[in-house]
Amino acid sequence: MFSTFFRIGLFTLGGGYAMIPLIESEVVEKHKWIDKKMFTDMIAIAQSCPGVFAINMSIFIGNKINGTKGALMATLGTALPSLIIILAIAMFFQSFQNIPWVAATFAGIRPAVVALIAVPTWNLARRAKISFINCWIPILSALLIWALGVNPIYIIIAAGLGGYFYGQVTKTTE
């Protein structure tokens, strides 16, 4: 488990959301530790919990597979590569930040990171059955946070309550 999450942490640029396809590939498809539905549910929970998304996912998956020991190994595996890379960059960044090809490399990575975040977001929206009928929810949420400065915690609470009541209504009509 440690080596699987170490590879995920080592080969993912762009943070936790960019890790989603790689985590899914390893955990759901390759090792079959959890199914797609549970993976989607874990993503929703990890997004709602405080803390770093990738670490939350590691804790949940590791705990599901091997309890506390699994959670610890998965978390260390995810966090250790970033720590090592950041320490190495911090040690040498001043000496190579003004080299043109290094600056160009960092500029080239930015659009790739955007794509690495956009693709899992699109896939999650499809799995969560976000369609043209209900796409107003994430759009309105983003606008409330961005344009009106609404605290995201209020959006999360409102979405959770709305989902709960929607679930209650659909249960009674079935």
Residues 6+ apart with CB under 8 A from 2: 73, 74, 76, 77
The whole-angstrom separation of Cα 29 and Cα 36 is 9
- Using one digit for the tens of pLDDT, what is the confidence trace for 131-174? 777 788 888 998 999 899 999 999 989 988 988 888 888 777 66
The whole-angstrom separation of Cα 116 and Cα 112 is 6
Structure tokens belonging to residue 85: 């890379």
Distances in Å between the alpha carbon of 122 and those of 22, 153, 162?
15, 23, 22
pLDDT at 145: 92
pLDDT at 121: 78
